[in-house]
A = this chain, B = another copy of it.
Amino acid sequence: MSSTTVSTEIGSKSERAYAAIREKILGGEYTPGYRLVLAKLAEDLGFSVVPVREAIRRLEAESFVTFERNVGATVAGIDPTEYLYTMQTLSIVEGAATALSAPLITGSDIARARAVNAAMRESLAHFDPIRFTALNLEFHSVLFENCPNPHILDLVHRGWNRLQALRSSTFNYVPGRASESVAEHEALLKLLESGAGADDVERAARAHRAATLDAYLARNAGGQQDAPLHEKAPLARSL
Contact = CB atoms under 8 A, between A and B. Distances in A.
A58 interface: yes
A152 interface: yes
A145 interface: no
A148 B235 contact: yes
30 contacts: A12-B69, A50-B50, A54-B54, A54-B57, A57-B58, A58-B61, A61-B61, A85-B152, A86-B151, A88-B149, A88-B151, A88-B152, A92-B92, A92-B93, A92-B96, A92-B152, A93-B93, A99-B238, A99-B239, A100-B235, A100-B238, A100-B239, A103-B234, A148-B232, A148-B235, A149-B235, A155-B155, A198-B238, A198-B239, A202-B239
A28 interface: no
Contacts of A89: 149, 151-152, 155
A69 B11 CA distance: 9
A232 to B, nearest CB: 7
